[in-house]
């Protein structure tokens, strides 16, 4: 694995990069600050740094390339087109987080084979009838649903009468939980009794479209909708609106060679204007499409034509907080991207092809909020997003956490990065009577092989304090149960 980030560590980076330290500020790049800790995660994985430009010659050495911090459209498209032309194609993933809005785009090439689309064990069902007709309707025992999905493949065994089915594989279309179609059975024998239909995993060919094409039309041929993780029933167009704003960010960068500055109202107005102009262009294109008498019958209207406006504040807030990083939100995108990298192997169905997500409506505080910006404050971004008052409340929190395992390690990381319990008033108490085992190391990432046999609570808290020395944390090596009620009181 090779990483690249030539940005020099700044003080606010300490509020989002859990491997960067105070001593790195102004001296190391973010890649250099992360290298040692990354290598310690797994000694069997070779990790190094690339310094210099990201070129097609460099990318040709890899199976998958992931961009996490770029809005340079021309460069992204250049690399994407190169990846698509290779045999086999190089996986291309583009993701980013601008404050409380983020996105992921996946392109595994013109032809990508998925050998196991869901990772589930193969199902089987007892059949009770098969019709002799062009549709070939199979009915199963009504005591149990078959559990199959459209385009699954099944193989038949022990069928009597319609023996042509035995040991043959058919692609199915689900009719109901108790029936499905297998195609024309008119020439087969008459079904008499029994039989088993067993699901088989058959490789599926998935077609991806290029970044250049997907920016203009984010839906591929077989994709019905852009996904919205929260499904806002009051605004079903939200993912499409966010897509237009992302395109506007790309145009902003093309013109100014930078993203909008933090809490800069002029940049917020500029980005909003670009987005509004794009909506006007879409409206005109939609009207022209409607009036085009030469288009073929059944032609599909471009999906972005459904965007009639960008809700007030959406583009402006993406601009205001484009340079702010929220650790929990970044972890969400990190999890998404890690899964997509694994899916390049053919295991599980990859994202098709966009995921847009914003939590600004639910997480940004309402009303007047004081957001003083100090570039020498590690919590600058948290203050920018949630305000000075909320950040102080976070610092003053008193938290009792039971367990320092996989979730406990993640929470400790987030607490340290965001400044939870980092004031004199704040206090984080963590208890866990368990010791670290070698099997813990693949998911409890605060621990290393040298920690095996040590206390989970003590080790996790110690490592968390290296992320944020201001963290006021107390580790207890005991269970939370009736015997410890004298320590863990009401």
Domain boundaries, the chain: 53-113+208-358, 124-200, 397-484
Digits of tens for pLDDT over the chain (490 positions)? 999 999 999 999 999 999 999 999 999 999 999 999 999 999 899 999 999 999 999 999 999 999 998 999 999 999 999 999 999 999 999 999 999 999 999 999 999 999 998 888 999 999 999 999 999 999 998 889 999 999 899 999 999 999 999 999 999 999 999 999 999 999 999 999 999 999 999 998 999 999 999 999 998 776 778 888 888 888 889 999 999 999 999 999 999 999 999 999 999 999 999 999 999 999 999 999 999 888 888 788 899 999 999 999 999 999 999 999 999 999 999 999 999 999 999 999 999 999 999 999 899 998 899 999 999 999 999 999 999 999 999 999 999 999 999 999 999 999 999 999 999 999 999 999 999 999 999 999 999 999 999 999 999 999 999 999 999 999 999 999 999 999 998 8
Cis before 126 (ω within 30)? no
Q: 101-107 and 153-157 as β-strands: parallel, antiparallel, unpaired?
A: unpaired
CB 352 within 8 A of CB 104: no
CB 356 within 8 A of CB 246: yes
CA-angle at 251, arms to 250 and 254, nearest 5°? 90
Q: Return the axis-axis angle of helices 73-85 and 238-256, rounded to nearest 10°.
A: 110
DSSP state of 368: -
* Residue given tokens 């090779």 in the structure block: 2
Could you tell me which residues come within 8 angstroms of residue 167 by beta carbon, excluding any fewer than 6 positions away? 155, 156, 157
pLDDT reported for residue 119: 87
User: How many whole angstroms separate alpha carbon 378 and alpha carbon 12?
Assistant: 4
pLDDT reported for residue 296: 85
User: How many whole angstroms separate alpha carbon 420 and alpha carbon 332?
Assistant: 19
Task: Count how many Cα atoms sit within 13 Å of the Cα of residue 35 in the half-sphere of its side chain.
Answer: 18
Could you tell me which residues come within 8 angstroms of residue 205 by beta carbon, excluding any fewer than 6 positions away? 111, 112, 113, 114
CA-angle at 208, arms to 205 and 211, nearest 5°? 170
User: How many whole angstroms separate alpha carbon 35 and alpha carbon 24?
Assistant: 12
The CATH T-level fold of domain 397-484 is: Rossmann fold (3.40.50)
Q: What CATH class does 53-113+208-358 carry? A: alpha beta
CATH number of 124-200, picked from 3.40.50.2300, 2.40.420.20, 3.40.50.9100, 2.40.30.180: 2.40.30.180
User: How many whole angstroms separate alpha carbon 172 and alpha carbon 155?
Assistant: 10
Identify the burial level of 127 via C-beta atoms within 10 angstroms of its C-beta, where 0-12 means exposed, 13-18 middle and 19 or more buried. Answer: buried
Examine domains 53-113+208-358 and 397-484 and report if their fold is the same: yes
């Amino acid at each position: 694995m090779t990483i690249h980030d030539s940005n020099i560590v700044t003080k606010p980076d300490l509020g989002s990069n859990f491997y960067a330290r105070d001593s790195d500020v102004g001296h190391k790049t973010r890649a250099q600050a992360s290298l040692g800790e990354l290598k310690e995660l797994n000694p069997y994985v070779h990790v190094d740094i690339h310094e210099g430009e990201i070129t097609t010659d460099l990318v040709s050495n890899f199976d998958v390339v992931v961009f996490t911090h770029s809005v340079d459209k021309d460069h992204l498209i250049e690399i994407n087109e190169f990846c698509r032309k290779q045999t086999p194609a190089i996986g291309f993933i583009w993701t980013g987080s601008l404050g409380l809005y983020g996105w992921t785009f996946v392109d595994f090439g013109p032809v990508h084979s998925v050998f196991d689309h869901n990772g589930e064990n193969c199902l089987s069902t007892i059949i009770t009838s098969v019709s002799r007709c062009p549709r070939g309707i199979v009915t199963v025992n009504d005591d149990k649903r078959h559990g199959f999905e459209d385009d699954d493949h099944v193989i038949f065994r022990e069928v009597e009468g319609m023996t042509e089915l035995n040991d043959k594989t058919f692609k199915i279309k689900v009719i109901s939980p108790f029936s499905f179609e297998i195609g024309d059975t008119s020439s087969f024998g008459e079904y008499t009794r029994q039989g088993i239909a067993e699901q088989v995993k058959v490789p599926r060919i998935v077609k991806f479209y290029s970044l250049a094409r997907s920016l203009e039309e984010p839906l591929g041929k077989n994709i019905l909708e852009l996904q919205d993780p929260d499904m806002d029933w009051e605004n079903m167009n939200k993912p499409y609106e966010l897509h237009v704003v992302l395109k506007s960010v790309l145009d902003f960068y093309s013109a100014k060679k930078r993203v909008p500055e933090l809490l800069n109202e002029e940049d917020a107005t500029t980005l909003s204007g670009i987005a509004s102009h794009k909506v006007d262009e879409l409206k005109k294109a939609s009207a022209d499409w409607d009036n085009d008498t030469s288009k073929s019958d059944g032609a599909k209207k471009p999906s972005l034509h459904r965007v009639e406006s960008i809700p007030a504040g959406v583009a402006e807030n993406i601009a205001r907080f484009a340079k702010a990083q929220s650790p929990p939100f970044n972890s969400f995108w990190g999890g998404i991207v890690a899964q997509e990298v694994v899916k390049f192997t053919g295991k599980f169905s990859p994202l098709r092809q966009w995921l847009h997500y914003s939590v600004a409506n639910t997480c940004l505080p309402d009303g007047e909020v004081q957001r003083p910006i100090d570039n020498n404050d590690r919590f600058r971004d948290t203050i920018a997003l949630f305000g000075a008052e909320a950040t102080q409340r976070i610092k003053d929190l008193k938290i009792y956490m039971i367990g320092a395992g996989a979730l406990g390690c993640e929470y400790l990381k987030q607490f340290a990065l965001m400044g939870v319990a980092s004031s004199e008033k704040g206090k984080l108490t963590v208890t866990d009577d368990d010791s670290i085992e070698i099997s813990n190391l693949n998911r409890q990432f605060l621990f290393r092989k040298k920690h095996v046999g040590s206390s989970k609570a003590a080790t996790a808290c110690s490592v968390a304090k290296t992320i944020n020395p201001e963290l006021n944390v107390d580790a207890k090596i005991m269970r939370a149960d009736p015997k410890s009620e004298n320590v863990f009181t009401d």
